[in-house]
Structure 1
Amino acid sequence: MGNHSDGSPNHSGTVATAGQNEVEKFQDPGIPPHRLRLADTDPRAAKKAERQVALLFGTSVVGTLIFLVSYFAIDLGNDSSIATIRLQNALLGIGTAFAMLGIGTGIVHWAKALMPDHEVSEERHAIRTEEDRQAAVRIVDDIVEETGIKRRPLIRNTLLGAVALAPLPALAIFGDLGPRPDFALAHTLWAPAPDGKLKRLARDPDGTPIKAADVTIGSAFHVIPEGLNELSEGKLNEKAKSVVLLMRLDPNELHPSPGRESWAYNGIVAYSKICTHVGCPVALYEQQTHHLLCPCHQSTFDLTQQCKVIFGPASRPLPQLPIAVDAEGYLVATSDFHEPVGPSYWEREQHVLNNNA
């Protein structure tokens, strides 16, 4: 009691002090007892789990086959109905879902029901090059042995089949994305005909030709090549890369670069409607500022500066279509675009040089 006789807080026990009741060492609780699963003690349960895993892998194979059959067997032509398109999309989705879920759930069920689940605690040792390599090899061998894949050929074979077929839907989709951009985007229907006849600019969608007198200052037209609507096949693809915006400004507001002075006619200019960012349609024209806006990611182009990018993620101006007027007063394209339309791709710069040569 001698230490507490002064009644001070530090000696009376009312204030805790550093080190008071300190536990010298944290006690390791150890690994909890391992609880055996039914498959660990009953061979019939293990065989049942094996069949379930194989069934899930087989489901993945069936899903892949559903995808492939619906992709290749259902023909979507120009006259395909909405019901046919919906049927194919539904089957493609169902097939992909079963293909992916079959593999995923099969592996999870395999791990939870058949692979060893006991916890292991090992001391960390200093890394020694050769011994560490050998230890890593032993670990890999132990993992392969613990999976039981050597002892369970049914699981092994169904897994190999599911994994081998699973990438096929992705390959089919990638192969159907379209032709290579160096073939598809480098040339459009605006190129003159083999006999040298120039293509007239026509209104979208009715395809009627446009006279220069029809285009007033501040107006904007969505334009397609004359004759596009008469195409029997490939019409949508050709339209997607040939669509143009036609506008008229005061000629004094235009600032063409050297060599482009003749690409416009009395302030009338034509530019590709395909945004150079990711290919969305540039459909908004602000006549007071002479800005073109892509609604997808807000890329903004200045019409007075050859559609130079002034805002947004696009990295290149919109390609300009050289135009003139024929003897009847209709607007015509004097040539194709001098560069590929749309987003960038690896070989684009080479095609710019070839088109300008």
Structure 2
Amino acid sequence: MSETGSHENVSEKHLPKEQENGHGAVAVADDPFADPGMPPHEPRIQDIDERAAKRSERVVAMLFTTSMLATLGFIASFVLIPVDKYIYVWPAGNIGALNFALGTTLGVALFCIGAGAVHWARTLMSDHELVDERHAVSAEPETRTKVMEDFAQGAKESGLGRRSLIRKTMFGALTLLPLSGVVLLRDLGPLPEDKLEHTLWSKGKLLINENTHEPLRPEDISVGSLTFAWPEGLEEDDEEFQKEVAKAALMLVRLEPEDIKDKRELDWSHEGIVAYSKICTHVGCPVSLYEQQTHHVLCPCHQSTFDLADGARVIFGPAGHALPQLKISVNNDGFLEALGDFEEPVGPAYWERRA
């Protein structure tokens, strides 16, 4: 092959590809991925047939109405279906009827609002294709005026003002849907009423040693020792044991009567034995660390410190108030007994707490 021919072959590799069009002319394809452009706009059936538009309007209204009914079904299910009721649903098997009803109705309510909005936008709102150049973040007054005009024009083209059926059902669906979240507040638990203000302690109930499960006598508690107790009748295998012991847990310390600074504390004690709630008034941790010389008891969670010789008042840490005291005495058989319940709720404060 000659040198000239070689140069010709190399040059041909960089020449644009030539094609013959249908009319016999030669066209040069400089860009094989040229933008084909947008297809011509075709009007929707709803744009040219008012009956079709009315049908779409009724479909949207039906979806919004279904959402309203599903929301009402959600609330009715929450109120009427027992928590412990189960139903068989294939293929999941037995599931909670309440959870199934809540999930189904809430899902339908949300889906129908979304489907209604999408169907409305695709069939009834304006279908014109517009190009709007980007502008600076800080818009000029003329731009803001144009935006408001475009908004008004969009509202007009959406038919929201003219199609009252859609407007009313959409607002109805959007108004009812938040009620689902309000009703869910019930699952925060049953109303406590005054349950947080009372424990199992009552007049005449014996103090049961937490370790031996035997009634306590004054001689069982020596000076400087810390003893834990719960009320008579509470058993570890009880279904409500954890809930009740969390409120009624008690700690007892024997002090020298002359070391007790608070007169009421002295009156509520027996031979220097004072009984206080074991539950810290900060976040409810069990108080369990006792220092004999200072009569201070420490909560291990956040170091709240209480003075058991001075009404269990807070002397350090984040706890908000003193530990509640239980008034005790000795019955005819020589066992320590409660003379009532705690005078105030045990544990952390809560917003319904009475002053």
* Aligned ranges 1:1-357 → 2 under 5 Å: 43=46, 51=59, 55=63, 58=66, 62=70, 65-66=73-74, 68-69=76-77, 72-76=80-84, 87=96, 90-91=99-100, 94=103, 98=107, 101-102=110-111, 105=114, 109=118, 124=141, 148-150=159-161, 151=163, 153-154=165-166, 156-157=168-169, 159-161=171-173, 163-164=175-176, 166-168=178-180, 170-171=182-183, 173-174=185-186, 177-179=189-191, 181=193, 183-192=194-203, 198-203=204-209, 208-216=214-222, 217-223=224-230, 225-228=231-234, 239=244, 242-251=247-256, 255-277=260-282, 280-288=283-291, 290-293=296-299, 295=301, 298=302, 300-304=304-308, 305-342=310-347, 343-346=349-352, 348-349=354-355
- Contact 1:58 1:158 (C-alpha < 8 Å) held by counterparts: no
Unaligned runs of 5+ in 2: 1-37, 86-93, 143-147
Cα deviation digits, residues 66-123 of structure 1 (max 9, x gap): 464255312449xxxxxxx983674487368637854885697589757679779985
Which amino acid in structure 1 is aligned with residue 195 of structure 2? A
Report the secondary structure of 2:270's partner residue. Answer: coil
CA distance in 2, matches of 1:99, 1:307: 56
Aligned-residue offset at 1:260 = 1.9
CA distance in 1, matches of 2:101, 2:338: 42
CA distance in 2, matches of 1:61, 1:143: 30
Cα deviation digits, residues 155-211 of structure 1 (max 9, x gap): 642551453254155336348744465x3344444243xxxxx22223569975333
- Contact 1:56 1:102 (C-alpha < 8 Å) held by counterparts: no
Residue 5 (structure 2) aligns with: none
Residue 19 (structure 1) aligns with: none
- Contact 1:284 1:292 (C-alpha < 8 Å) held by counterparts: yes
Which amino acid in structure 2 is aligned with residue 43 of structure 1? Q
Aligned-residue offset at 1:285 = 0.9
Q: How many residues align?
A: 287
- Contact 1:273 1:283 (C-alpha < 8 Å) held by counterparts: yes
Which amino acid in structure 2 is aligned with residue 340 of structure 1? P
Cα deviation digits, residues 257-305 of structure 1 (max 9, x gap): 232212233443322344434xx5432411347434274xx36232434
Cα deviation digits, residues 34-72 of structure 1 (max 9, x gap): x99x99956389877995796488457536634642553
- Contact 1:185 1:241 (C-alpha < 8 Å) held by counterparts: no
Which amino acid in structure 2 is aligned with residue 65 of structure 1? G
CA distance in 2, matches of 1:168, 1:228: 40
Residue 22 (structure 2) aligns with: none
Report the secondary structure of 1:199's partner residue. Answer: coil
Report the secondary structure of 2:266's partner residue. Answer: coil
CA distance in 2, matches of 1:203, 1:92: 48
Which amino acid in structure 1 is aligned with residue 335 of structure 2? Y
Which amino acid in structure 2 is aligned with residue 218 of structure 1? S
The TM-score, its normalising length taken from structure 1, stands at 0.56
Unaligned runs of 5+ in 1: 1-34, 78-84, 126-135, 193-197, 350-357
Residue 34 (structure 2) aligns with: none
Aligned-residue offset at 1:239 = 1.9
CA distance in 2, matches of 1:92, 1:303: 53
Kindly tell me: are residues 164 and 60 of structure 1, through their superposed partners in 2, closer, same or farther at Cα, counting changes over 3 Å? closer
Which amino acid in structure 2 is aligned with residue 301 of structure 1? T
- Greater CA drift, 138-147 or 254-263: 138-147
Identity of aligned residues (%): 24
- Contact 1:340 1:348 (C-alpha < 8 Å) held by counterparts: no
- Contact 1:200 1:333 (C-alpha < 8 Å) held by counterparts: yes
Structure number with greater Rg is 2
Report the secondary structure of 1:260's partner residue. Answer: helix
CA distance in 2, matches of 1:219, 1:190: 20
- Contact 1:50 1:110 (C-alpha < 8 Å) held by counterparts: no
